[in-house]
Every structure is written in C-alpha cells, then in structure tokens.
C-alpha cells in the first residue's frame, strides 16, 4: 500500500469514526431520538405516514394494557418516557396528572387483573411513549393496544422504530417491473454508449449537443404540461418573490413559509412575478425559467471541473457532463420554482473555476472573482457553504506563498460583499446567522412525520431498490438514494391525485439503473485514496462533508423530507470527478461496457423526468 493510500485511508477511517461518534453524541442529546432499553419498545398509534405538514393542534393517542398485580398489593414503579405530555389512568381512574417529558410514577393496585392506560399528546411530533414496570413484568410492546380517536376504536400498538408507510404510493410500479418493462427500449442507447467510449472529443461534443437538445425539450414540456404549483412549497416561493416585487424590502423569517431563505433567487424572479401577474398568469410557471437554466449550467460546470482536473481527456469530460446534465436530482428540481437549482449551479461554478486555477495562479483579482461567485451562491441558499472546504483544498496549492493571505482576504471580502452580509444581518436581527424553516423562533409552528429518529433510520437500506416512491420513509440511506437517482418525494406531491404526468415505469426503472453511476462513484472514491492530486482530495473531503451535513440535519430535524439530494447538488462536480476516475480505472473492454450502461442510465433518467 502506497504512502498516499495509507495517509488518505487513515484519514478516511478516522473521519468515519469521528462522524459515527458525532452522530451518537448528537443522538444522546437529541430529544427526538428514541433510545430503546429492552425489553420495552417505543410505541405509536398509527403506521401510515401523514405526508402533509401538520400545523394544527398536537395529536393525542391512548395506549392500554392489562396486567395481573401480585398478591402483596405493594405499590409499583412505572417508568414513563415521552417527548410530549402524558397522563396515567389505572382502572379508569386518574393515577398521575398531565406532565411533560420523562417521569417515574408510583401506582398502587390490589391483587388481580387491572387495566393501565396512558394518554399521550405530542409536542411538535407524534404522541409516542415508552413504559416499563419491571416489578410487574409490564413493558410497552406488541401486547399493547392503541387508539388515535379518543378511545372509540382500538388496535394493536405499533413499534415506533419500524418505518412508516405511504400506502397509496406503495401501489405504484416497483423497481423490478420498471426495469424489465423498459429494458427492450435501451438497446440502442447501450450501443451508443459503447461507441462513445472510444470517440474522445467526438463523444464530448455529442454529449453537449444531446444535453442541449434534451434540456430544451425538458423545458418546453415542463412549461407546457406540468401543472402550476408543482414543486416543494412552490406557491410559497412565489409568495416570497411577490413580496419583493411589491415592496423591495427583505421580509422577516417568520413573515411567511419561505421567507427565511436567502433572497437572490427571489429577487431575480420578482420581475417574472410582476410580468405574470400583469398578464393574469400563474407566477410559479414563469419562475421555472431560472431553475431550468440553472440545471443546465450545473451539468456544464461538472464537465468544466473534470476538464480542468483531468486535462487532455475529453472522454472523461463527456462522462462528467453526462452525469451532471442527466442526474435525476437535477432534472426534477430544475422543473420547479425553487432556489436550490440556482444555488447548486453557482456553487458548482465556483468549484469549477477553483479547479481551473493552476499552481501559483491565484491572483488577488481572481480570488475576488471567486469570492463573488461563492457569495452569490450563499445569497441564494445556505447549502452552498458546503463548497467551501473542497474549494480550500483546490486553492491552497494555487496561491503563491507570499500572496496567500492577501488572496484569502480578497476572497473573503468579496464573498461577504456578495452574500455574506445577509447572514451577518440575520445574526444581528435574530441572534443566529441561519434561521432554518424548522426554527420555532419564526413563530410558525409545524411538524411532519415521523417526528423522531431511531437507530434503524441510520442503518436500513433497500426500500429504494424495491419501491422507490416515498422509499425515504425507510431511513436516511433510502431517502438519499431515492432522491438522487429518482424523484423520491415526487416533487412534494402527497397524493396520487396530483402526480405529475411523467412515466412512472421509467421513474421506477431508474432505481436499478442508479446502481451504475453509484458503483462508478464508489470505485472512483476508492481510487482517489491512491491519488496525490488536490482534485481527488477535494472530492473526498467535499463529498464526506456533504454526507456528514446531511446526516446531522437528518438527526436534528426529524421530518421525512429533511433528506433531499438536491441539497447537495452544488457538490455534483466532485461526484462527477469520482465517477470519471472510477470509469478510467477499468481497462478498455470493461470501460466500454460501463460506458454503455452509463448511456442507458442517462436515457432512463431523462425519460423518467420528461413530462408528456
């Protein structure tokens, strides 16, 4: 094992251990993390997820169990845990009044059969409980019953650690049926990919031309066939743009659902909002235009990054463009009114331009330009900050030693002038540089299922390869995979009635085809451990940091839609480099086969996202 591999492998292992420890520490402190102590289980009343945000009164649930008290009749201790409020009823009489949080209750019961009932109310989450009375052998578990309608109907209590279900979406096509149904249509694409594997610059030009045509068709179809309002909080994004168009004043984070966001995208959309309103049209349709353009720029930035990192390899630049332009997370979010495509495009451009700076070539002027691009990305969405760590790896060898401090200062000042001021302003006015949409300080009280996390949420994977639609309810890895290679949350649509007119079989097929780029990226990251260049180091660090941030957010904000691969789209150039390195690690014949599979994957991804 070479010295570079030994060093980077050791760092990767240390990083993985540190990440696991960080998450474990966060779980131990988080009130929304359910810590089991066998044999008792955490219980909930329902197993079907409510897919819309809950903004009304906190829900109630009742849990009951019958037990036999011993002949001594001695008082017994009941340990009770709940993130919300609970009261304890024994034999239909109040035994312990309403209290919030964990507690220990002493109960007295004469010898014989008794009924214990626990009434729970959620607090920014579902009414889940954990109970244990060891002296009686009573532990919350599958023998308990639950009711969510004030005791009118009862059924078996559910193990809260089991993933919730979305029954309506489970009826949609599965990944295997989609794969088999669409496979005969891909023979020509497999042949095209094999041909491209040996064409170098011709392949690069072909991918660019095909991507340009594909995105024009995608844009036309999105504008013509997708209903207004499709997308995550689409109408609230339009509301923000409308507020700026009317007043040209920054709103407070709590003024409306999306006004906590950075303002650049909405400022660009304000004239579109005014134009659409003047014409009597729905603004959300016109607000797709910046997103569509940003999505195309993201693919171009991936190609540009790899062309700089691996000069003289137009075949690898073509593969990078193929990933960036046809990445499902990019294809789907770019068809909706959202600040995420623009933030991703600017962050990706920032990384691509950092990659183009050669050793010793980072002048003060160029550093200021890079800072302005990075600041603009921050002024669009805070997730752009994930690009800073890999950019530092790229720029460190590019800055001359004597001018390093001056270049860093120029970059920082330009970034602050372009976008950092917004976070300084937020800090001064609201006490923190970032006010997230989930922050109770906004005065908007809401939550979403499941409302808590358990250890299994970080360990399970596989639902996305069976039924990819809303597979993210199964845990973090299924959520990340299904939103990266599919439209896992269906652009925020919570009902089959509102599904976009896209081919579900092709979407489902994308779950299996997503294994192709996944395998190449994994192989490329492994190859990156052996390389000594800054580009591979940036890819390893950036993708690890992005994964760590996504995991931490998943733990901290316990709602199902926390995990969306579109949050990490600004790091797409790093994934593109890993994919290209994985592709390049094969000899000629296997590389041809992987090129064929990659072309077929791109065709599946595009057809699944095309509204017709």
**Residue ending a domain, choose from 160, 189, 212:** 160
Mean pLDDT score across all residues of the chain: 92
With 90 as the cut, is the pLDDT of residue 47 above it?
no
Note whether 457 and 571 are same-domain residues: yes
Token pair belonging to 299: 């693919």
Residue range of the domain that includes 123:
43-160
Q: Are 166 and 470 in contact (CB under 8 A)?
A: yes
* Model confidence pLDDT, tens digit, residues 256-286: 989 999 999 999 999 999 999 999 999 999 9
pLDDT in tens, 184-214: 999 999 999 999 988 888 989 999 999 999 9
Q: What is the pLDDT of residue 512?
A: 97
pTM of the predicted model, to two decimals?
0.94
Q: Is residue 448 part of a domain?
A: yes
Instruction: State both tokens at 194.
Output: 């094999």
Q: Are 418 and 375 in contact (CB under 8 A)?
A: yes
Per the domain annotation, does 582 fall within a domain? yes
Please write the tens of the pLDDT for every residue from 535-586: 999 999 999 999 999 999 999 999 999 999 999 999 999 999 999 999 999 9
Q: Is residue 31 part of a domain?
A: no
Residue 40, pLDDT score: 93
Query: For residue 12, is it within any domain?
Result: no
Quick: pLDDT tens for 379-418: 999 999 999 999 999 998 888 878 788 999 999 999 999 9
Tokens matching residue 190: 């497999």
What's the pLDDT at 1?
44
Choose between 483 and 532: higher pLDDT.
483
pLDDT number for residue 5: 56
Boundary of a domain, candidates 137, 160, 183: 160
On whether both 181 and 103 belong to a single domain, the answer is no
User: Which residues does residue 174 pair with via DSSP β-bridges, in sequence order?
Assistant: none
Q: Do 182 and 116 fall within a single domain?
A: no
Task: Supply the pLDDT for residue 74.
Answer: 75
pLDDT at 172: 93
CA distances 366 to 147, 377, 395, 407, Å, are 64, 17, 11, 8
17-42 per-position pLDDT tens digit: 888 888 788 777 788 899 878 899 99
**pLDDT tens-digit readout, 422-444:** 999 999 988 888 888 888 778 88
Domain count, the chain: 2
**551 lies in the same domain as 417:** yes
CATH number, domain with residue 141? 2.60.120.260
- Do residues 485 and 428 share a domain? yes
Same domain assignment for residues 401 and 329: yes
- For 319-377, what is each residue's pLDDT tens digit? 999 999 999 999 999 999 999 999 999 999 999 999 999 988 899 999 999 999 999 99
Residue 30 lies in a domain: no
Show the beta-strand stretches assigned E in 8-167: 43-44, 60-69, 76-81, 85-90, 93-100, 103-107, 112-121, 130-133, 138-139, 145-147, 155-156, 158-159
pLDDT tier, 520 (very low <50, low <70, confident <90, very high otherwise): very high
Same domain for 352 and 292? yes
How would residue 107 be classed by pLDDT, with cut points 50, 70 and 90?
A: confident
Q: How confident is the model at residue 530 (pLDDT cuts 50, 70, 90)?
A: confident
CA-CA distances (angstroms) from residue 203 to 4, 207, 224, 322, 380?
33, 6, 31, 10, 34
Neighbouring C-beta atoms of residue 596, cutoff 10 Å: 22
Q: What element of type H or E holds 295?
A: helix 288-309
Residues near 311 by beta carbon (within 8 Å), at least 6 away in sequence: none
232 and 129: one domain?
no
- Give the burial string for 36-74 (b: 16+ CB within 10 Å, else e): eeeebbbbbbbbebbbeebeeebbbbbbbbebebeeeee
* Cα 429 to chain centroid, rounded: 28
């Amino acid at each position: 094992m070479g010295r570079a591999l030994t060093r980077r492998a050791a760092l990767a292992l240390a990083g993985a251990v540190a990440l696991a420890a960080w998450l474990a520490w966060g779980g131990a402190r988080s009130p929304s993390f359910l810590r089991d102590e066998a044999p008792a289980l955490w219980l909930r009343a329902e197993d079907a997820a409510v897919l819309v945000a809950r903004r009304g009164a906190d829900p109630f649930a009742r849990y009951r169990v019958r037990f036999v008290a011993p002949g001594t009749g001695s008082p017994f201790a009941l340990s009770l845990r709940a993130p919300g409020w609970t009261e304890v009823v024994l034999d239909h009489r109040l035994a312990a009044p309403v209290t919030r949080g964990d507690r220990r209750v002493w109960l007295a019961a004469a010898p014989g059969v008794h009924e214990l009932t626990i009434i729970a109310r959620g607090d920014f989450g579902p009414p889940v409980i954990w109970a244990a009375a060891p002296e009686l052998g009573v532990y919350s578990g599958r023998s308990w019953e639950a009711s969510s309608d004030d005791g009118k109907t009862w059924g078996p209590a559910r193990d809260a650690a089991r993933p919730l279900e979305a029954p309506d979406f489970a009826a949609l096509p599965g990944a295997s049926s989609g794969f088999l149904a669409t496979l005969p249509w891909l023979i020509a694409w497999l042949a095209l990919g094999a041909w491209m594997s040996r064409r170098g610059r011709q392949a690069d030009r072909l991918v660019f031309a095909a991507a340009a045509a594909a995105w024009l068709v995608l844009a036309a179809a999105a504008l013509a066939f997708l209903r207004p309002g499709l997308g995550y909080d689409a109408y609230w994004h339009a509301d923000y743009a409308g507020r700026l168009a009317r007043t040209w004043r920054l709103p407070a984070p709590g003024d409306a659902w999306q006004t906590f966001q950075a303002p650049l995208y909405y400022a660009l959309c304000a004239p579109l909002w005014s134009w659409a309103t003047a014409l009597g049209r729905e603004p959300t349709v016109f607000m797709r235009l910046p997103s569509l353009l940003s999505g195309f720029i993201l693919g171009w930035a991936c190609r540009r990054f790899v062309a700089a990192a691996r000069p003289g390899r137009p075949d690898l630049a073509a593969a990078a463009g193929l990933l960036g332009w046809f990445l499902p997370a990019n294809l789907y979010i770019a068809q909706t009114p959202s600040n995420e495509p623009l933030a991703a495009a600017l962050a990706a451009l920032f990384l691509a331009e950092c990659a183009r700076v050669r050793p010793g070539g980072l002048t003060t002027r160029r550093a200021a330009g890079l800072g302005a691009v990075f600041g603009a990305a921050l002024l669009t969405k805070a997730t752009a900050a994930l690009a800073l760590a890999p950019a530092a790896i790229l720029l460190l060898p590019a800055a001359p030693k004597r001018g390093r401090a001056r270049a860093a200062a120029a970059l920082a000042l330009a970034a602050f002038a372009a976008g950092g001021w917004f976070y300084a302003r937020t800090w001064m006015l609201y006490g923190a540089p970032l006010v997230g949409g989930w922050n109770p300080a906004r005065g908007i009280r809401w939550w979403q299922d499941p409302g808590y996390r358990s250890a299994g949420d970080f360990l399970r994977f596989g639902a996305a390869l069976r039924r990819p639609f809303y597979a993210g309810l199964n845990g973090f890895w299924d959520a990340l995979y299904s939103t990266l290679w599919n439209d896992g949350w269906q652009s925020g649509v919570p009902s089959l009635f509102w599904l976009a007119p896209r081919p579900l079989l092709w979407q489902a097929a994308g779950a299996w085809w997503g294994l192709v780029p996944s395998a190449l990226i994994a192989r490329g990251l492994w190859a990156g451990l052996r390389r000594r260049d800054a580009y591979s180091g940036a890819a390893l660090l950036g993708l690890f940091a992005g994964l760590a941030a996504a995991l931490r957010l998943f733990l901290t904000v316990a709602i199902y839609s926390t995990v969306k691969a579109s949050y990490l789209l600004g790091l797409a150039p790093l994934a593109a480099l890993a994919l290209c390195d994985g592709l390049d690690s094969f000899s000629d014949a296997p590389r041809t086969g992987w090129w064929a599979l990659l072309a077929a994957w791109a065709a599946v991804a595009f057809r699944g996202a095309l509204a017709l």
